[in-house]
Structures are given as C-alpha cells and as structure tokens.
Amino acid sequence: MSRLWREGLPIRMMARGDLPAHFFWNNQAHHVLYISNRWRVQTGWWRFAIQRTYFKLVTQSDLVVVVYRDETVSRWFLAQVFD
C-alpha cells in the first residue's frame, strides 16, 4: 500500500537546475536514479493559487516516490511513497 500526504511533507531537495538529484527524508539521503514522469498543476487563481511541478522518481534504493516543488514558495515536498 502506498502512503499519500495531500499537503505534502517538507523535504530538503538537492537539484541540478530545476531537476531533482537527491533528497533527504527520514534522516536518509535518497539519490534519484531516474525521473519517471513530470507534470505541472496550476489552479485556484481565483482564490488560493496552486502552482506545483510534480516528479515521479525512482531512487537508487528502488524507492518510488512523488515529490513536488511548490513554485509559489520555492519549497519541495514529498507527496507519495509507493510500496
């Protein structure tokens, strides 16, 4: 079963340009092996704007996650971990 955090868990991300390279979660470094998918969400301009760039990542330890960068505050969040 996968774990999902609707609001996201704040994480520390090290990026190369605008692409995630490795992140820190649960006191461990997770190095990105490859980016499986990338998409953007922009909505809510009439009330609370949401501007996010999502990435589905596979790490060197075979962890599959969805992370996003909140473009309005320039911060990274963990959204989902797949089992």
Token readout for 65 is: 């996650």
Give residue limits of the domains in the chain: 3-82
Q: What predicted TM-score, i.e. pTM, was given to this entire model?
A: 0.92
* Position 31 pLDDT exceeds 90: yes
The pLDDT assigned to 62 comes to 93
* Position 1 pLDDT exceeds 90: no
Average pLDDT score over residue span 37-56: 90
CA 83 – CA 76 distance, rounded (Å): 21
Three-state SS annotation for 19-70: EEEEEEECCEEEEEEEEEEEEEEEECCCCCCEEEEEEEEEECCCCEEEEEEE
- CB-based contacts of 9, cutoff 8 Å, min separation 6: 25, 77, 78
pLDDT digits (tens, 9 = 90+) for 6-23: 889 999 999 999 999 999
